Amino acid sequence: MENNRPNISKRVLFVDDEENILRSLKRLFMAEGYEVITALSGAEGLTLLKGTETPVIISDQRMPGMSGAEFLEKSREIAPDSVRIILTGHADVEAAIGAINRGGAYRYVSKPWNNSDLLLVVKEALDKYSLVQENRYLTELTLRQNEELKKWSTELEFYVQQHTIDLTRQNKELKKLNEKFRRNLEEIMASMSGLIELRNRTMHSHSHNVAKLAAMMAGNMGLSSQDTETIIMAAQLHDIGKIGESDIAMTKTVAELSADEMAEYMKHPVRGQAVIDCMEDLREAGILVRHHHEWYNGKGFPDRLKADSIPLGAMIISLADGFDRMLHRELRSVESALNQVKTMLTSQFDAALYAPLEKAAREFFITTTSADDCMEVELTAKDLKDGMVLSRDVRTGTGLLMLRKNTILNLKNIDTLTRGFHLDPSKSGVFVFMKKTRT
């Protein structure tokens, strides 16, 4: 902002019809550093005032033609801010007071004057003038600054609005990217867990079941969505380290393994962690994978962690894993598996996890496929229709998972499925839910 602070001159105008008086005044004031201009009449004085700033005007009252009071009043039109002083003899004091009352003069000085008094009066007049100018300058400055502030605040508001719009847009884009990233990660994980299931048919859906059951347990326990997501990722990949095991060992139960095979088997949690540790987003999940065979009593592997030193997520996966194996490897019923789990609490499993497991198991494994108004039918790929719901997982002939149970079919996934069957034909058809028709 410009600095227009007023630079006040020390110009004084003296008006008197006596030349010698003007001369002596000029000497007196010039010696004090004033710029002095003089006029022999009111008319000449008015001419001199035009176009120049003159802070102080001093006029004799008694002059031929225009009186001092008249001159001072007229000078207000040309120099309204100047401070006016009238010089007057005793006989003219009344006229001088009249001039003051009408606003033409600031004060009067009696003739003959005392030089130092007059210097003081003029100095005070100059100070008064400076004060008025300074005050005017500050008022204008304040108004200008207020205007600027108003402008800035409007611009700022506009900028903030624009910025908010930009941020909202960027946020939306980020969200989209995040969702895409998430979907990709889920697909990668499904492929990875599909790989291990491909090696061992007995593991069909095991990772999926463990992930589903662990997620439900985490939900029942009120864990945060972030912790739940980590648990789901770890559960899906918990046995990925088995990929290095021999084909024969893969088909055996733990009890059937030879000492060498057992030693290999016990490496799978650490190998699993190593496989996914290169992905930063899966590192937390990797820790849970490492510890999914720890036992509550410290007799598990690989680190023989005990009780609360085992990560909670790993204990949840351990229980979900054990429970799914009881159902699908030992072919127990849900009730029998729950009873079996009860006997292993505090040794292998954390007793605090039984209630969340029981609730999740009853919801997840007691299916609704036999609902009164639905039945399951087996169709060939070409008979599939948009909107149908899968009642079982769909796999290619060699067991590669293509679509999960409960997927709603659309033209895109029907096409994927058809191409999958063409490349790797399955002996069975595709199982879907159909509404029963009443006869």
Q: Which is nearer to Fe ion, 229 or 239 (CB)?
A: 239
Contact pattern from residue 181 through residue 220 relative to Fe ion, giving x for each residue in contact according to CB under 5 A and a dash for the rest: ----------------------------------------
Q: Which is nearer to Fe ion, 239 or 350 (CB)?
A: 239
Residue with tokens 């001072």: 72
Q: Is residue 321 within the footprint of Fe ion (CB under 5 A)?
A: yes
Contact region with Fe ion (CB under 5 A), list: 299-307, 319-327, 362-370, 399-407: 319-327
Q: Show contacts with Fe ion in window 47-106 (CB under 5 A).
A: none
Q: Which is nearer to Fe ion, 61 or 200 (CB)?
A: 200
Q: How far is the CB of 275 from Fe ion (least distance, A)?
A: 13
Distance set, CA 175 to CA 168, 182, 184, 376 (Å): 10, 10, 14, 38
For 97, the 3-state DSSP assignment is: helix
Q: Show contacts with Fe ion in window 346-385 (CB under 5 A).
A: none
Contact region with Fe ion (CB under 5 A), list: 165-173, 217-225, 232-240, 377-385: 232-240
Contact region with Fe ion (CB under 5 A), list: 246-254, 314-322, 354-362, 406-414: 314-322
**What token pair was written down for 226?**
């972030």
For 401, the 3-state DSSP assignment is: strand
Q: Which is nearer to Fe ion, 162 or 202 (CB)?
A: 202
Residue with tokens 């000029």: 26
Contact region with Fe ion (CB under 5 A), list: 71-79, 124-132, 318-326, 418-426: 318-326
Q: How far is the CB of 224 from Fe ion (least distance, A)?
A: 24
Beta-bridge partner residues of 374? 435
**What token pair was written down for 297?**
């009593």
Q: How far is the CB of 352 from Fe ion (least distance, A)?
A: 21
Q: How far is the CB of 238 from Fe ion (least distance, A)?
A: 5
269/389 Cα distance (integer angstroms): 35
Q: How far is the CB of 269 from Fe ion (least distance, A)?
A: 6
Beta-bridge partner residues of 375? 434
Residue 420 corresponds to which amino acid? G
Asked if 311 and 317 touch (Cβ cutoff 8 Å), the reply is no
Q: Which is nearer to Fe ion, 168 or 202 (CB)?
A: 202
Q: Which is nearer to Fe ion, 84 or 206 (CB)?
A: 206
Q: How far is the CB of 223 from Fe ion (least distance, A)?
A: 21
Asked if 110 and 93 touch (Cβ cutoff 8 Å), the reply is yes
What is the number of other CB atoms lying within 10 angstroms of the CB of residue 92? 22
Q: Is residue 229 within the footprint of Fe ion (CB under 5 A)?
A: no
Contact region with Fe ion (CB under 5 A), list: 147-155, 168-176, 231-239, 312-320: 231-239
Asked if 13 and 48 touch (Cβ cutoff 8 Å), the reply is yes
Contact region with Fe ion (CB under 5 A), list: 163-171, 276-284, 317-325, 396-404: 317-325
Residue 67 CB contacts under 8 Å (≥ 6 apart), including other chains? 42, 61, 95
Q: How far is the CB of 241 from Fe ion (least distance, A)?
A: 8
Q: Which is nearer to Fe ion, 68 or 300 (CB)?
A: 300
Q: Which is nearer to Fe ion, 104 or 241 (CB)?
A: 241
CA end-to-end span of the chain, whole Å? 91
What is the number of other CB atoms lying within 10 angstroms of the CB of residue 244? 13
Q: Is residue 239 within the footprint of Fe ion (CB under 5 A)?
A: yes
212/357 Cα distance (integer angstroms): 11
201/323 Cα distance (integer angstroms): 18
Nearest to 115 by CA among 96, 84, 87, 90: 87
Asked if 291 and 305 touch (Cβ cutoff 8 Å), the reply is yes
Q: Which is nearer to Fe ion, 46 or 213 (CB)?
A: 213
Total residues contacting Fe ion by CB under 5 A comes to 2
Binding residues for Fe ion (CB under 5 A): 239, 321
